[in-house]
């Protein structure tokens, strides 16, 4: 068990780990830790840096200044904000697609919800138990015990909605090549919504094992021009894979008039904000190469 550390002790702990305070002074760093973030969160970005091995600096970080951690943390915050916006808009238009397709098949709208409740026994209780907590209180009270596909989507979080979406397309005569892409989007959206770090571990080992969908991988090779080698190397990173999947689906389901504001934010992030302090990361090949790879994908979908 590690002891609780005061902010001065946190500074000393970072210095002992080889983190420098040249770009941002100890005083500035202390103020930043006091007002803007907390030690456990900002230290997570140090995982992007190697440590000395076999020298008198054994175990200390190589070429890491506290300012670099601050920069990564702030870029991550910007990325999460855009991801959450895009995922929310994508969720809406997936619901639009689902309900439009429901109108052209032999579905009464009620039976499929009952089947979903059988698959997820706690879902009905969870939804109908929100009468005192949900902003959808009126809907829950009105349709309690009488749920149909067109009203239940209004009170569903993304996770059960993707289950409903998959159930619908699996039990009807649609060929939906996007079903296996919903999990990556859900994982990314949840991370953004819960303010989890996204770019704190750009080198292995990763938090989970992923494999890019065939359609995404094929598009990145044929249309974006990325090599199979680079795709196989970079898209095993969960966040990069999930982000590329979000861009892929967003471009297909969200109307261009709705997409443009988010695209504008992405262009500013990747072409202006991320380059503001690019000198910080010149010596870090992991960060630099992942940025270049992801920027290529962003430029293809949103325009450079």
Q: Name residues whose C-beta falls within 8 Å of residue 82's C-beta, 6 or more positions apart in sequence.
A: 262, 265, 266, 269
Q: Say whether 50 sits in a helix, a strand or coil.
A: coil
The pLDDT value given to residue 304: 64
Tens of pLDDT along 12-34? 999 999 999 999 999 999 999 99
pTM check: above 0.75: yes
Tens of pLDDT along 236-262? 999 999 999 999 999 999 999 999 999
Residue 216's Cβ-count burial label (10 Å; 0-12, 13-18, 19+) is buried
- The answer to whether 207 touches 201, Cβ cutoff 8 Å, is yes
Tens of pLDDT along 258-303? 999 999 999 999 999 999 999 999 999 999 999 999 999 999 999 8
pLDDT at 47 over 90: yes
């Amino acid at each position: 068990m590690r002891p609780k550390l005061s902010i001065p002790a946190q500074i000393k702990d970072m210095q002992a780990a080889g983190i420098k305070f040249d770009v941002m002074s100890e005083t500035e760093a202390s103020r930043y830790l006091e007002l803007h973030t907390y030690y456990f969160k900002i230290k997570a970005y140090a995982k992007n840096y190697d440590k000395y091995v076999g020298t008198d600096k054994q175990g200390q970080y190589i070429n890491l200044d506290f300012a670099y951690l601050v920069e990564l943390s702030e870029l991550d915050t910007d990325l999460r904000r855009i991801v959450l916006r895009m995922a929310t808009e994508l969720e809406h238009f997936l619901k639009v697609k689902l309900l439009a397709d429901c109108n052209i098949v032999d579905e009464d709208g009620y039976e499929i919800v009952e089947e979903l409740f059988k698959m997820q026994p706690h879902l009905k209780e969870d939804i109908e138990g929100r009468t005192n907590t949900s902003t959808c209180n009126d809907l829950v009270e009105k349709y309690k015990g009488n749920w149909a596909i067109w009203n239940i989507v209004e009170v569903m979080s993304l996770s059960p909605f993707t289950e409903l979406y998959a159930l619908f397309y699996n039990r009807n005569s649609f060929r939906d090549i996007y079903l296996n892409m919903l999990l990556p989007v859900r994982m990314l959206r949840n991370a953004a919504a819960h303010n989890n770090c996204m770019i704190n571990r750009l080198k292995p080992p990763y938090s989970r094992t992923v494999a890019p969908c065939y359609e995404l991988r094929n598009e990145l090779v044929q249309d974006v021009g990325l090599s199979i080698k680079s795709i196989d190397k970079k898209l095993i990173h969960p966040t990069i894979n999930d982000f590329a999947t979000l861009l892929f689906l967003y471009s297909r389901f969200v109307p261009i008039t709705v997409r443009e504001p988010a695209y504008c934010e992405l262009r500013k992030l990747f072409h202006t904000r991320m380059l503001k302090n690019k000198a910080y990361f010149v010596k870090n090949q992991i960060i630099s190469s992942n940025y270049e790879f992801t920027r290529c994908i962003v430029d293809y979908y949103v325009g450079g």
